[in-house]
């Protein structure tokens, strides 16, 4: 039967092999950018809306409100269309302009937070405050609060089930980005039930506070927890075997490399996860079948991380990253 609504296209995304120099290791990308909203967060967004309607916290015709850098907001805009709801996205200057345009095109209302913030400063705490205030003030409104919403990780269980079905020979490791913690928790918990020996690596931006390192500004969007905010209850640290950080330069240069060498436009957080997956593989710390997500597509970042002038102005270009990736993927000598 043909889909009748766009949200029926969520899921069943394809996988792709990235060959590495070790013939006993497979790096597999799951192309979550192929979801209708362009990211894996379509799954989480719909899960939260369905749960809220089911338990009566959200009534038909009501308003959903969320703080978002864009991907969760796009998913919520699609869910709002499916269920006839109003959606207000609370955003800041850090959100990619094309993500804002996409949400608006889908009927979302956009509210920017006020404040004099640096370009690489992510005012999540202020976004949350404004979203919670709107949820309390507007009749029939509900603040979705993805950092504390158990339907967030529940939305990724089907993704893990898809992976288990697609990779029948087994999955040995999962490398995932960590922001609210919903995706890595939902996916890793299910994969570890299937294979208790599976190793999980959580990747946050350098400057994020998830794994206890000092906080400082960063440019990576939609991932990590900035200084001044807290880690939400949806993150299960127990399902993460290694928590690591990746710099903006490593993440963005990897995304650019994957576009030019593999023909896949991926976002910056995906670039960071791929970089760390390859680093662990090269060190012999991950073996067998290693999976990571193409969280969203690079089409949303053409004016930022794929723009040479934007990158150069922020001193984020580093040709040594491409040389390192060549060494890991092609076996070419890399000069330190």
Q: Of 223, 230, 143, 228, nearest to 184 (Cα)?
A: 223
| 142: helix, strand or coil | strand
- Segment 271-328, tens digit of pLDDT: 999 999 999 999 999 999 999 999 999 999 999 999 999 999 999 999 999 999 999 9
Residues in Cβ contact with 69 at an 8 Å cutoff, skipping those fewer than 6 apart: 91, 92, 94, 95, 96, 99, 122, 221, 222
For helices 157-166 and 182-194, what crossing angle results, to 10°? 40
- Segment 136-147, tens digit of pLDDT: 999 999 999 999
Domain 41-146 carries which CATH code?
3.40.50.1100
Could you identify the residue written with the tokens 């087994």? Answer: 170
**To the nearest 10°, the Cα dihedral for 261, 274, 270, 122?**
-120
Q: How high is the mean pLDDT of the chain?
A: 94
pLDDT at 105: 96
pLDDT at 113: 87
247 pLDDT above the threshold of 70: yes
For the chain, the domains span 6-34+156-322, 41-146
CA 249 – CA 319 distance, rounded (Å)? 10
| 16: helix, strand or coil | strand
For helices 97-105 and 71-83, what crossing angle results, to 10°? 0
Backbone angles phi, psi at 26, to 5 degrees: -120, 125
Residue 123: pLDDT band (50, 70, 90) is confident
pLDDT average, residue stretch 219-245: 93
335 pLDDT above the threshold of 60: no
Cα 126 from chain centroid (whole Å): 21
Handedness of CA 112, 132, 87, 232 (dihedral sign): positive
334 pLDDT above the threshold of 70: no
6-34+156-322 and 41-146 agree in CATH topology: yes
Neighbours of 14 (CB within 10 A): 12
Neighbours of 282 (CB within 10 A): 18
pLDDT average, residue stretch 253-258: 98
Q: Of 73, 81, 76, nearest to 99 (Cα)?
A: 73
As beta bridge partners, residue 254 has none
| Of 34-48, 56-70, 158-172, 251-265, minimum mean pLDDT range | 56-70
Residues in Cβ contact with 1 at an 8 Å cutoff, skipping those fewer than 6 apart: none
Host H or E run for residue 202: strand 199-205
pLDDT at 333: 59
More confident residue, 115 or 178: 178
Q: Following DSSP, what letter does each residue of 62-97 receive, concatenated?
A: -EEEEE-SSHHHHHHHHHHHHHT-EEEEEE-TTS-H
pLDDT average, residue stretch 72-82: 96
Parallel/antiparallel/unpaired status of strands 15-18 and 25-30? antiparallel
Please give the class, per CATH, of domain 6-34+156-322: alpha beta
Number of H helices, E strands in the chain: 11, 10
CA 72 – CA 110 distance, rounded (Å)? 13
At 295, list the tokens: 């969280």
pLDDT average, residue stretch 51-80: 94
More confident residue, 120 or 44: 44
The burial class, CB within 10 Å (0-12 / 13-18 / 19+), for 227 is middle
CA 5 – CA 64 distance, rounded (Å)? 19
């Amino acid at each position: 039967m043909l889909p009748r609504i766009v949200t029926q296209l969520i899921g069943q995304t394809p996988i792709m092999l990235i060959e590495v120099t070790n013939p006993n290791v497979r790096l597999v990308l799951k192309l979550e950018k192929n979801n209708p909203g362009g990211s894996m967060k379509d799954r989480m967004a719909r899960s939260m809306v369905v749960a809220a309607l089911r338990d009566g916290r959200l009534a038909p015709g009501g308003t959903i409100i969320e703080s978002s850098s864009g991907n969760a907001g796009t998913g919520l805009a699609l869910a709002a269309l499916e269920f006839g709801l109003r959606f207000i996205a609370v955003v800041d200057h850090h959100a990619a302009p094309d993500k804002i345009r996409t949400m608006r095109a889908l009927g979302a209302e956009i509210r920017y937070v006020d404040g004099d913030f640096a370009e690489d400063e992510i005012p999540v705490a202020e976004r949350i405050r404004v979203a919670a205030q709107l949820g309390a003030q507007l009749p029939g409104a509900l603040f979705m609060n993805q950092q504390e919403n158990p339907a967030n990780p529940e939305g990724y269980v089907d993704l893990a089930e898809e992976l288990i079905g697609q990779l029948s020979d087994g999955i040995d490791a999962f490398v995932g980005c960590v922001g609210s913690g919903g995706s890595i928790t939902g996916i890793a918990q299910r994969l570890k039930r299937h294979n208790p020996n599976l190793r999980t690596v959580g990747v946050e931006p350098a400057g994020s506070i998830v794994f206890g390192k000092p906080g400082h500004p960063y440019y990576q969007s939609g991932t990590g927890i900035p200084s001044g905010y807290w880690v939400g209850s949806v993150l299960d640290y127990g399902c993460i075997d290694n928590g690591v950080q990746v710099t903006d330069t490593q993440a963005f240069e990897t995304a650019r490399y994957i576009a030019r060498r593999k023909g896949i436009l991926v976002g910056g957080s995906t670039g960071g996860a791929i970089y760390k997956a390859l680093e662990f593989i090269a060190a012999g710390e991950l073996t067998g079948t290693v999976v990571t997500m193409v969280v969203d597509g690079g089409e949303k970042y053409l004016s930022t991380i794929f723009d040479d002038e934007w990158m150069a102005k922020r001193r984020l270009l580093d040709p040594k990253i491409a040389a390192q990736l060549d060494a890991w993927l092609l076996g070419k000598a890399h000069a330190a």
